[in-house]
Structure 1
Amino acid sequence: MSSVIKNKEEKKKDVTANGIKGYLKDGVPVKVQVERGLYFRVSKEGTGFWILRYKSKVDGKRKEYTLGRYGTRKDELSLSKAKDAAATMRAEINNGIDPVIERNRPKKAQFKTVHDIAQKWLKICERDLKNPQIPARVYKNEIAPIIGKLAVSSVEPTDILAIVEKINDSGRPSISNDALAYCKQIFDRAIKEGAIKFNPAGALSIKDAGGAEKSRSRKLSISEIETILKIMRENAHTFTRENYIAFCLLIILGVRKGELIAAKWKEFDFDNRVWHLPAERTKTEAEIFIPIPELLLPFFDELKIRANGSEYVFPSRRASKRRGYISDDTLNHALANLFGNSGYLKKSKKELPNLLGDAGIKHFVVHDLRRTCRTLLGMNKVPPHIAEKCLNHKLKGVEGIYDHYDYFEERKEALETLAEQIVKLS
């Protein structure tokens, strides 16, 4: 080995394993050619490395790429393994892949399970959605139990089908459609993150889930409301007083459920009987000043006592780190429970009486109360544009573009009349 010229490149047509060991034993920095483009280099520290020289097809420059350290351990390359690695790398270079450029690419995040990628998706939902708790709830209750622990690359269309069919079997077609949509979003995220190449939920449509959803038209008549309120009062042990008041307020004020249950006391000016609903809490992202009928003041006085110092009008009934007001499902479940087994969202194993159904009340849900408010306003001869403003709907067409008057006094009169009709039933 003493005859070898050190500190410069040496060209050898055939470098043996024993020859490599000799270079290392000598301990002098050297770079020796093994075969086309493949070099063995000894560093100043006496460590052996395999180097591949090549001409990039990306930018035409000549470059060097370290294939790995010489050795026989699992993370090292022997002479034969170095030749194999060089052959593989040359094939990639011929296909237009530049290993130096690839080495400097941003590292891909490692997502092993569906739950891993779902957490990234849920964070994006929190950033972009007004109500991120909705997809979070559907994922937690419907998607995660079936595929959450599966490797993200192993999920197949049949797994997604199992999710939506299970929800359909429980009688919740709209939730089935939501779950399918969320699955598509989760696996679209996985594609963007480089975890998979194809979306397993992409093969399914709403025909495989809950089917096309029909627009609801259910609304309550005054006589139905009277019957419903009577049954709610008679079953106050299950349908609480807070739920009862919320039910009345939703019909009279025409606000969305989420706007009401998240209301804070600071939003209310009871001296002037105005509820200031801030823009960030409205679906239309426009603030609205809602007239409070005088007949509703006793309801709010009662809620203030029941709130027991909480900043929320409808404070959470159990300790929660997530938020201080009642769950989105509280009213839904309480109402559904009055329809017994035919209305309860989570099928009960025990027989539940259909209190509302037995009284002749056709099934309805909380969201139908807003439609009920709009219908009753129309029956009271409230002009359409004022009725729409009562529901904080944007006026359509040219009228919506040029008419920025909020009709506060007109809305106040309309809601006062409606309050008279409903409060006397309570």
Structure 2
Amino acid sequence: MATKQILSSKDIIEKCLAKGESVKKRIDTGLYFRISDEGTAFWILRYSANGKRRELTLGRYGKGAGELTLSKAKAEAVNKRAEVNKGIDLIAEKKRPKQAKYKTVNDVAQKWLEICRRELKNPQIPERVYRKEIAPRIGDLAVTRVKPIDILDMVEQINDSGRPTIANDALGYCKQIFNRAIKEGAITFHPAGALTIKDAGGSEKSRKRFLTMSEIKITLEVMRENSHSFTRENYIAFCLLLVLGVRKGELIAAKWEEFDFDKNIWHLPEERTKTGKAISTPLSSLILPWFQELSIRANGAEFLFPSRRLSKRRGYISDDTLNHALAKLFGNDGYIKKSKKKLPNLLGEAGIKHFVVHDLRRTCRSLLAENKVLPHIAEKCLNHKLKGVEGIYDQYDYFEERSTALDNLAKQITILT
């Protein structure tokens, strides 16, 4: 009686390949060699998960790149069976979304900034803080290597430079960036999770600074005397912020097409207001010469304050242009800390206590109150939402009343210019 020949795994494979027919042969525990109807040879792993029989393709048979020889297929089968023994369903795992392959913080931030551009009305604000404060310090670090101490050191340095608000913003943005990294599986530990604003700039107190008429008079004189550093465009922007009470971002991004100089109205569209509600702002005839001068200086540009650099990222001036110009007038006592030389405190020497651009909006509101403008009209001048029931039912825009209020304010300011 003939003894049945036991073929080796290699012999089985060679026999199947020689026949060239569709076949599936068991090679090892759970490991099968298969040839498809099209003649493609590949490896299959059979296993059970949650009471169900499963078949997982391990790869093509061969010695080429990405292919599996017999020995490699056996080794891969052993590894996969070890995962199955841990309760892992290999096919279910393959269907899971792939984890993001972020390498550096800059990679994650790029995705985060895309979301900011889609969701935020003013995405340039977080983008500016990231580009100037966060990226230079931790942007090139591997996202998995960032530690709490890295972020703590960063926000402390920003705070020590006299910018507590920016320190708090930077910490908040770091939290958002690493939240994104966690959501996409790039990291499991949040390096900014344990930090609070106490570690950055601390609790921010509402600013109360505003300028009196006498301070405005002195400030404008200093600006005119130093026009080589505080340019004429900056001077006009400063004055317009005082007499119109608009937000700086609304003014510097204004386009000529928004203005109707036949009716002396600035139509500010809803997509450019913080409240999300369009507003028509009356323009006093006293301030029209400023717009005429800006038109000449703009030289056909679509913006009132076109970018002054050839390598511009956008069509109008930077958000920091006016801030830095004003800060320089306060010298090293302002928030400019990078200057290696001593800068004179021109405004301080003239008796002006430090203030920032955003204080001009508060100044406008205070001057309106001083002029006995009714509160709800003054609030409308600044395009604030009225509070409570009044805000719900009072939809009147008080255009005529605002026109009178802003015209009276323009008379006070223009006489000083």
Do these two structures clear the TM 0.5 threshold for a shared fold by scoring above it? Answer: yes
Aligned counterparts of 2:130 and 2:369: Cα–Cα separation in 1: 39
Partner of 2:363: 372
User: Are the equivalent residues in 2 in contact too, given 1:15–1:34 (CA < 8 A)?
Assistant: no
Deviation, 1:19, is 3.7
- Give the whole-Å Cα distance in 2 for the aligned partners of 1:158 and 1:15: 63
Counterparts in 2 of 1:18 and 1:96: CA distance versus 1, 3 Å: closer
SS at match of 1:382: coil
**Distance across 1 between alignment mates of 2:7 and 2:70:** 9
CA RMSD of aligned residues (A): 2.4
Aligned to 1:233: 224
**How much does 1:233 deviate?**
0.4
2:198 and 2:297 map into 1 onto residues whose CA distance is 46
Equivalent AA in structure 2 for residue 125 of structure 1:
C
Match of 1:36 in 2: 29
2:280 partner SS = strand
1:195 to 186, 191, 203: 186
Contact 1:114–1:150, Cα closer than 8 Å, also in 2? yes
Contact 1:23–1:42 under 8 Å retained in 2: no
Aligned AA (1:277) = L
Partner residue, 1:245: 236
Which 5+ residue runs of structure 1 have no aligned equivalent?
Answer: 5-11
**2:216 aligned partner, one-letter code:** I
1:130 aligns with 2:130: no
SS class of match (1:275): strand
Deviation sequence 1:351-377 (CA, Å, 0-9, x none):
110001111111100000000001111
> Equivalents in 2 of 1:412, 1:152: separation in Å?
54
CA contact (8 A) 1:250 1:370 kept: yes
Cα distance change of structure 1 residues 23 and 117 upon mapping to structure 2, 3 Å threshold: farther
Mapped to 1, the partners of 2:40 and 2:402 lie a distance apart of 84
C-alpha deviation, 1:321, in angstroms: 4.6
The answer to whether the 8 A contact 2:161-2:335 is kept is no
Is the deviation greater in 99-108 or in 351-360?
Answer: 99-108
Query: In the alignment, is the contact (CA less than 8 A) between 2:9 and 2:27 conserved in 1?
Result: no
SS at match of 1:152: coil
2:106 counterpart residue number: 115
- Retained in 2: the 8 A contact 1:180–1:209? yes
Distance 1:76 1:229, change over 3 A: same
TM-score normalised over the length of structure 2 = 0.92
Contact 2:163 2:335 in 1 (8 A): no
Structure 1 segment 88-103 matched on structure 2, within 5 A: 88-103=79-94
2: CA distance between counterparts of 1:408 and 1:51?
77
Superposed displacement of residue 80, structure 1:
5.1
Deviation of residue 236 (structure 1)?
Answer: 0.6
| Residue of structure 1 in register with 2:264 after alignment | 273
For 1:74 and 1:294, how far apart are their aligned partners in 2? 77
Alpha-carbon distance, 1:269 to partner: 1.5
- After TM superposition, the score normalised by the length of structure 1 is 0.90
Question: What is the deviation of 1:159?
Answer: 1.7
Q: List per-residue Cα deviations over 1:287-312 (Å, max 9, x = no partner).
A: 11111112111111111111111121
Distance 1:346 1:230 in 2: 25
User: For structure 2, which runs of at least 5 residues remain unmatched after alignment?
Assistant: none
SS in 1 for 2:122: coil
Map 1:253-272 to 2 at 5 A.
Answer: 253-272=244-263
Secondary structure, in 3 states, of the residue corresponding to 2:198? coil
Is the alpha carbon distance of 1:79 and 1:15 closer, same or farther for their aligned partners in structure 2, counting shifts above 3 Å? farther
Deviation at 1:38, TM superposition (A): 2.1
Alpha-carbon distance in structure 2 between the residues aligned to 1:265 and 1:51: 68
Matched residue type, 1:54: Y
**Distance change >3 Å, CA 414–CA 49, structure 1 → 2:** same
Letter in 2 for 1:335: L
Indicate which of 402, 408, 411 corresponds to 1:417. Answer: 408
Q: Is the 8 A contact 1:24 1:48 kept in 2?
A: no
- Structure 1 pair 173/34, CA: closer, same or farther in 2 (3 Å)? same
* Distance in 2 between residues matched to 1:127 and 1:98, nearest whole Å: 37
Query: Structure 1 321/335 Cα, relative in aligned 2: closer, same or farther at 3 Å?
Result: closer
CA contact (8 A) 1:255 1:370 kept: yes
